[in-house]
DNA sequence: TGTACATCAGTGAACGCGCGTTCACTGATGTAC
DNA sequence: TGTACATCAGTGAACGCGCGTTCACTGATGTAC
């Protein structure tokens, strides 16, 4: 860790975006380790890649722009993982369950990115409204269960909000106090799905 | 803000602990503003009080020791607020409801301290096991409801965990994305109490 | 085919800043005799 | 009652560090003529 890749050469003309990719990827790796956007230094990213610190400015206006780009990519990853899980499961109940479970496990498996995405101060400094997408899709998944009479009719938005809040909290507690003896996340999430959305799980 | 109190003089012999108090109180004020323990600088605390930065070392071994002391005090405050609310309410159901509602509102009203207490990296660096107290008392309050047949019998620890997780998440979302149009916290918490603990609220 | 030139991809030195922490110190106040 | 002395409460200069950002630059590569 920390040693620059020795094979790094200048990119060909027109290939300058490759460095951009590498910067975002490295920022993501460091943010996952740090779990805090304010702890990420642009110099550390450059050091890791083996370029001059100033080269970051070729692609990003400032530190915040880099963090924001990393968060957009990270969030897109999470949304895709949830969509894939829902699509792979059969039916509305299995779909909602898969979606919410992956929301939990993805976050639990990427504790650092989870913290930066949801708990760090970028949220205050930058517009991160792209995060609303995930909430929207959760509401839709709940609504599909209600429409199919597989969940008690009610306010789908409220149910989805409760689910998100509860899973968010369950993950946050585990991520922020990793030393404590927690119940497996999947068990708790299934219980929350039962109680909050009224699902009947096998 | 930022101007030292001009009336500050040296404390009398034997009164050295007064400065300690003032340092902790100032650290709490700044942490509430910052919402991040790593952003708190010992020099900023000293500046605010109007003492030399080195004077902090008369009472705290290092920056972490100061943050930890502030967090212990903050947590004690929260626990007392919850206990008082439960005591003031009548009966097990009112008591549990009051306790959980205050858990939410206290955190919502002290967003910065909430973040430092639950989401900042002190949790990784320092032993903060004093935080377990609040969880313990929540379990007991749930158990009292079950014992009085005012809540469906079940695993009180699991119910308390779900409640804590859900309230934690509900607060965290509001604190970290203050710009969004949230449902009033009290409404959501009452719904969570109903669904997760099976309480019948008036 | 040769060559001048524009452009692209990146560099390296330097700036000023605030930070945690160490160190040797100062001066008022209380106390033992 | 006077005075030497210990202690307490706090100071101020200095250290080395990593940071974000600016600036003028370099050298390879493709392109127009």
Mean pLDDT of A28-39: 97
Say how far residue B132 (Cα) sits from the centre of its chain.
12
Give B134-151 as a DSSP string. Answer: HHHHHHHHHHHHHHTTSS
The tens digit of pLDDT for each residue in A101-137 reads 999 999 999 999 999 999 999 999 999 999 999 999 9
Residues B138, B168 within the same domain? yes
Kindly state whether residue B87 falls inside one of the protein's structural domains. Answer: yes
The pLDDT of residue A13 = 72
How many other C-beta atoms lie within 10 A of the C-beta of residue A194? 14
Say how far residue B157 (Cα) sits from the centre of its chain.
21
Out of A26-30, B10-14, B194-198, least confident range: B10-14
Asked whether the predicted pLDDT for residue A8 surpasses 90, the reply is: no
Residues A146, A179 within the same domain? yes
Residues A99, A36 within the same domain? no
Q: What 8-state DSSP symbol labels residue B193? A: H
More confident residue, A152 or B8: A152
Task: Please name the member of B39, B168, B191 whose beta carbon is closest to the beta carbon of A169.
Answer: B168
User: pTM for the complete prediction?
Assistant: 0.93
Q: What 8-state DSSP symbol labels residue B56? A: G
Q: Name A residues 64-103 whose Cβ lies under 7 Å from strand C.
A: none
Backbone angles phi, psi at A126, to 5 degrees: -120, 160
Share of chain A above pLDDT 90, in %: 91
Residues A118, A29 within the same domain? no
Binary contact (A162, B161; C-beta < 8 A)? no
Task: Please name the member of B115, B119, B165 whose beta carbon is closest to the beta carbon of A170.
Answer: B165
Residues B51, B125 within the same domain? no
Based on the structure, what is the number of domains in chain A?
Answer: 2
Residues B98, B120 within the same domain? yes
Residue B113 in contact with residue B74, Cβ under 8 Å?
yes
Binary contact (A38, B35; C-beta < 8 A)? no
The pLDDT of residue B3 = 37
- What is the domain extent for residue B83? 64-197
Query: Which residue's CA is nearest to the C1' of nucleotide D11?
Result: B52
The pLDDT of residue B14 = 67
């Amino acid at each position: 860790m920390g040693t620059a890749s020795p094979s790094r050469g200048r990119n060909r003309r027109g290939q300058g975006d490759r460095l951009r990719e590498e910067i975002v990827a490295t920022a993501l790796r460091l943010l996952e380790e740090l779990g805090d956007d304010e702890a990420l230094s642009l110099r550390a990213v450059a050091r890791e890649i083996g370029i001059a610190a100033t080269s970051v400015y070729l692609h990003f206006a400032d530190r915040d722009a880099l963090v924001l780009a990393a968060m957009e990519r990270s969030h897109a990853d999470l949304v895709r993982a949830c969509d894939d899980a829902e699509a792979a499961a059969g039916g509305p109940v299995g779909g909602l369950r898969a979606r919410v479970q992956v929301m939990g496990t993805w976050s639990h498996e990427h504790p650092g990115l989870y913290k930066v995405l949801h708990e760090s101060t970028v949220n205050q400094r930058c517009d991160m409204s792209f995060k609303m997408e995930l909430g929207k899709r959760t509401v839709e998944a709940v609504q599909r269960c209600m429409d199919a009479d597989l969940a008690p009719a009610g306010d789908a938005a409220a149910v989805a909000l409760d689910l998100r809040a509860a899973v968010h909290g369950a993950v946050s507690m585990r991520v922020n106090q990793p030393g404590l003896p927690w119940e497996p996340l999947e068990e708790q999430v299934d219980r929350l799905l039962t109680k909050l959305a009224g699902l009947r799980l096998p």
